[in-house]
Amino acid sequence: MRPMSREEVRGAIVNLDRTGSKVRLPAWFDDAPWHRIDYLGWRDPRAAKCAYLVTEADGQALGVLLRQAPNHADGSRAMMCDLCRSSRRFNEVSLFTARRPSRDKRERLNTVGLLLCTDLDCAVKTRTEPTRHAYDPPGDDIIAARREGVRSRAIAFIRSVPDAERTARRRT
């Protein structure tokens, strides 16, 4: 993705708890490997269970505040990340939830979940050299398609978060 400014990333979060709450950026922000990643993912430096995910849609920064749910999965199961779709050991993928923004108190309990690489670094999995079969496209094409998939699924998820209006209508 293209490099973004701090202001841009901070302004991208669609579901901050209160307007005016501050988005704390990672200490390594200036060294973010923009060319390598399809979303910027990091944990809040002061609240380890809070994470942010920011990507780019139609040239605009688009991001979400997530909370990591307690891990209840049993140790023998493999889990699949919803964004990079790699199967990993159970503790390498975690459930994160995003609170839907709403002025209505009851609606604040409304969350939407995502299984995500616990290290918030799908890029590592996306870029591993694919095992190719005789008629598969070249490795670079496979990696490019995976990256496109990560980006489009991240956008679809983030866009689904502030869609509280539709949820409210469904309830009535």
**Binding site residues, Zn ion, CB under 5 A:** 81, 83-84, 117, 122
The residues that bridge with 96 in the sheet, in sequence order, are 68, 114
What is the smallest separation between the CB atom of 105 and Zn ion, expressed in angstroms?
Answer: 33
Closest to Zn ion by CB, 5 vs 156, is: 156
Closest to Zn ion by CB, 47 vs 124, is: 124
Name the CA radius of gyration of the chain, rounded: 17
Nearest residue to the partner Zn ion, using Cβ: 81
Closest to Zn ion by CB, 13 vs 81, is: 81
What is the smallest separation between the CB atom of 118 and Zn ion, expressed in angstroms?
Answer: 9
| Listed residue (36, 9, 26, 28) closest to 144, CA to CA | 36
What is the smallest separation between the CB atom of 79 and Zn ion, expressed in angstroms?
Answer: 10
Closest to Zn ion by CB, 24 vs 127, is: 127
DSSP 80-123: E-TTT--EEEGGGEEEEEEEPP-SSTGGGG-EEEEEEETTS-HH
Closest to Zn ion by CB, 83 vs 101, is: 83
CA distance readout (Å), 147 to 106, 125, 133, 154, 158 = 37, 10, 20, 11, 17
What is the smallest separation between the CB atom of 10 and Zn ion, expressed in angstroms?
Answer: 24
Contact 62, 54 (CB under 8 A): yes
What is the smallest separation between the CB atom of 82 and Zn ion, expressed in angstroms?
Answer: 8
**85/92 Cα distance (integer angstroms):** 12
